[in-house]
Amino acid sequence: MSLEFKVLTLNCWGIPYVSKDRKNRMKAIACYLKNSEYDVVCLQEVWTDGDFDLIKNESSNIYPYVHYFYSGVIGSGLCILSKHVIEEAFFHQWSLNGYIHKIHHGDWFGGKGVGLCKLTVNNFNVNIYTAHLHAEYNRNSDEYEAHRVLQAFDTAQFILLTSRGVDLVVLAGDLNTMPGDLAYKVIKTVPGLMDSYECCREPIEDSSTCESPRNSYTQRKSHGQRIDYILYHPGAKLQVALKSYDLPLPDRVPCCPYSYSDHEAVEATLEIGEAPIKHAAQKENETETVLRDSLAVLNKALNDLASSRICYGFVFVVLSCVLVVSFAFGVPPGYSVIYDFARVLLTIFAAFFLLMATIWVKIERHGLLAGKLAMEISLKKLS
């Protein structure tokens, strides 16, 4: 007995008022899906209920089972569409998701994490995971590296703890990390996942899934990045072979000058058989190296956090002193409104830096420590 299992993943770039041509692109994505034949579709950055309802309703004849992972202020943006009954669903929110005051980045407001849907497909137990890791806004000076590495480790641990006895594990999504990056190594190595692209016998010519030269939304000359993945791992009783790997969407929406998203969709077809196969043993020394490198990143982040706390506290003291001095001297005639406004601003900024120096630093520190302790347990097990 064998089974073909076809998966699609796409970052839909559905940020309200920001993403270009959003409504028209969402209609095009919905139209594509209602004419598609996947077993499972994993979508990211579906940020509004209206866009989700549009995609769900348009494709309901093909994908009658749908789950959206609500989280945070604006939702996680993650949803799964399936031909098969979704028997169980769960969302694990990461402890660190960026910074609340970095409103222009916005990752914190999504309450990001990893979503899980459990399916039974022809008597095979299949776990589908989807995730969207924190974006990398500056590769030369990445302030979110520790957050992303920790998110990758949380996802890897979540997969390990929820997939025992499962016949097939699939992780599909925008992982915001390139092959060779530490977060990629963590999320692939720790749970022993295989990259469908790397398993492809005839790799496609241009594998970039973000900032691709052929995408209408790529603003500058770029070779593109491969940051959207379909990773998989068979259970102990199965053999799973990659039948095909592709970027299926055309460069432009038909009869339109724009692409479906600023990301490319990725599809993979897996061939599942019941005959047992000896899977290659996970290289423990490779996993150990990845975990040690991750611990180094987290330790550096903890040291930087201690320095940040001092800086936040110092700024709070300075602003508080300026505020006290402003009340100690009289207000020049005609400047009372300006002085009152300045005092309000000083009070707001002082409160913000006090919050950052106390509550926020504590939250981030505890998140980093939680990941660090879990990594140390995994390292101890390996050694």
Which residues are marked as active site? 263
What residues contact 188, with CB distance under 8 A and at least 6 apart?
194, 195, 231
State the DSSP string of 119-130. Answer: EEETTEEEEEEE
Place of tokens 């789950």: 67
What residues contact 141, with CB distance under 8 A and at least 6 apart?
none
DSSP H or E segment with residue 15? none
Mode of pairing for the β-strands spanning 239-246 and 228-234:
unpaired
CA distance 170 to 145: 24
Asked if residue 188 lies in contact with residue 195, where contact means CB atoms within 8 angstroms, the answer is: yes
CA distance 175 to 226: 9
The per-residue b/e assignment along 126-143, b for 16 or more CB within 10 angstroms, e otherwise, is bbbbbbbbbebeeeeeee
CA distance 175 to 256: 28
Asked if residue 187 lies in contact with residue 231, where contact means CB atoms within 8 angstroms, the answer is: yes
Q: Other C-beta atoms within 10 Å of 200: how many? A: 16
What residues contact 328, with CB distance under 8 A and at least 6 apart?
none
Place of tokens 């398993």: 199
Q: Other C-beta atoms within 10 Å of 314: how many? A: 12
